Amino acid sequence: MANIGLYIELKDGVLKKSNRELLSLARKSGQAVHAVLFCPDVQPYLEELKGIQTVIQVKGADLSYQPDRYARTLAAVIRDFKLEVFIGIFSAQGKDLFPRLAAKAKASLVNDCLAVDLDARKAVKPVYSGKLLAEYQVEAGTALFTVRPNVIAVEAITTTNAPEIKNAVMDSGELRTKIISVQKSASQKIDLTEAEIIVSGGRAMKAKENFAILEELAKVLNAGVGASRAAVDAGFATSDMQVGQTGKVVNPKLYIACGISGAIQHFVGMKTSKIIVAVNKDPEAPIFKKADYGIVGDLFTIVPLLKEEFKKVLS
Ligand SMILES: Cc1cc2nc3c(=O)[nH]c(=O)nc-3n(C[C@H](O)[C@H](O)[C@H](O)COP(=O)(O)OP(=O)(O)OC[C@H]3O[C@@H](n4cnc5c(N)ncnc54)[C@H](O)[C@@H]3O)c2cc1C
């Protein structure tokens, strides 16, 4: 039986939703699964971690995310617990951490996977801005995979088996790169990379204040609000809202693009959305070639109508 490791990402002490997807994938593998958490107390998370073999709790005076320390600590965990496969989320932190970890652990990394076979050490990932899907096989050494959020179905936990808790010590060595401060977004926004529904606005929003109509629709749908780069560059939206090649890669069940033309650089960030709805007043807009449903019309008329209709249906 192989040893599968799993990096559990916490955000403000809360287990990120995508961890449940990784846990479902790992539980199905039939291998021994070991979850690693950097936290002072694992008790609040144990309910979610049922059905795996071990919880490895990393302890230390300062557990704040510092990439050098996290990478060295995880490399030691991989060595000490003889982990042959190690997986994490393709999140902002995963993108920062896993390449460093691959270097420290002398492991092979396949990033941004859409499917992973943990037993066969194989993964499928998009290449050339999503034009092709490539299959990778890690032949030797430790295999690291990061998995795109929202691609793996979360399975209900059917076992009551509690994992055994083991400890690891946080590395306290030199920091070559130090995170000095983290600026949090003022509002409590839904994380776009994990959102199930996203309403996005483009240049056609015309002003920052006009994003309020997208926020109202998003509130009804419990959705996140995204933006095109043109909207961000014009100052209508903040950079953490940008979807696309130089923004976030999102993978919701429903993506509603309002006043967005459908440039390739935007499309690569949202093309794996399960359903794409486009609202655009130009019937020739390229987005209509990519959308599952298209509404030709002025977004300032359509979006409030959509909000009212969804409100009726969902109430
Ligand atoms: C290297 C590079 C990286 C890039 N990265 C990104 C990225 O990450 N994300 C990204 O989004 N872009 C990115 N871009 C920019 C990209 O090429 C496009 O310029 C951008 O996506 C266009 O944004 P838009 O669709 O909002 O604006 P536009 O292309 O101007 O489209 C606006 C659309 O709104 C429609 N419209 C106008 N008024 C209304 C109305 N009242 N109601 C309904 N529809 C209306 C118009 O018909 C039009 O289709 C990148 C470009 C480069 C070169």
Same domain, 66 and 123: yes
Same domain, 198 and 160: no
Domain annotation covers residue 183:
no
Distance 213 CA to ligand 1 centre (A): 19
**Domain stop point among 169, 184, 201:** 169
Mean predicted lDDT score pLDDT of the chain? 95
Domain annotation covers residue 186:
no
Distance 271 CA to ligand 1 centre (A): 15
- Residue 260 CB–ligand 1 contact under 6 Å: yes
Q: What is the dihedral of CA 214, 219, 221, 222, to 10 degrees?
A: 120
Same domain, 256 and 206: yes
Same domain, 125 and 242: no
Same domain, 160 and 208: no
Same domain, 150 and 201: no
Write out pLDDT tens, residues 121-156: 999 999 988 889 999 999 999 999 999 999 999 999
Write out pLDDT tens, residues 12-38: 899 999 999 999 999 999 899 999 999
CATH number at residue 151: 3.40.50.620
- Residue 80 CB–ligand 1 contact under 6 Å: no
CATH number at residue 246: 3.40.50.1220
Index of the ligand 1 atom closest to the CA of residue 261: 49
**Domain stop point among 169, 201, 233:** 169
Backbone angles phi, psi at 44, to 5 degrees: -60, -15
Antiparallel, parallel or unpaired: β 3-7 and 132-137: unpaired
Same domain, 253 and 134: no
Note the helical H segments in 106-257.
Answer: 211-221, 229-233
Q: How confident is the model at residue 159 (pLDDT cuts 50, 70, 90)?
A: confident
Asked if 18 and 48 count as a contact pair (C-beta separation under 8 A), the reply is: no
Q: What single-letter DSSP state applies at residue 51?
A: T
C-beta neighbour count of 184 within 10 angstroms: 7
Same domain, 149 and 200: no
pLDDT of 184 > 90? The answer is: no
- Residue 228 CB–ligand 1 contact under 6 Å: yes
- Residue 247 CB–ligand 1 contact under 6 Å: yes
- Residue 246 CB–ligand 1 contact under 6 Å: yes
> Using CB atoms within 10 A of its CB, is residue 284 exposed (0-12), middle (13-18) or buried (19+)?
exposed
Same domain, 273 and 164: no
Domain annotation covers residue 185:
no
List all residues 6 or more positions away from 205 whose beta carbon is below 8 Å from its beta carbon: 211, 214, 227, 231, 236, 237, 258, 259, 299
Domain annotation covers residue 104:
yes
**Domain stop point among 169, 204, 233:** 169
Q: Tell me the angle at which helices 67-80 and 92-105 cross, rounded to the nearest 10 degrees.
A: 50
Distance 261 CA to ligand 1 centre (A): 5
Same domain, 7 and 113: yes
Structure token pair of residue 114 = 């859409």
C-beta neighbour count of 292 within 10 angstroms: 12
Q: Whose CA is nearest to atom 8 of ligand 1?
A: 244
128: left (phi over 0), alpha (psi -120 to 50) or beta: left
CA distance 258 to 272: 18
Q: What percent of the chain has pLDDT over 70?
A: 99
- Residue 298 CB–ligand 1 contact under 6 Å: yes
Same domain, 95 and 198: no
Distance 203 CA to ligand 1 centre (A): 6
Domain annotation covers residue 281:
yes
Note the helical H segments in 119-163.
Answer: none
Residue 90: closest CA among 111, 118, 64, 61: 111
Count of domains in the chain?
2
Write out pLDDT tens, residues 261-313: 999 999 999 999 999 999 999 999 999 999 999 999 999 999 999 999 999 99
Domain annotation covers residue 268:
yes
Domain annotation covers residue 52:
yes
Same domain, 164 and 16: yes
Domain annotation covers residue 24:
yes
49 lies in which domain range?
A: 3-169
- Residue 265 CB–ligand 1 contact under 6 Å: yes
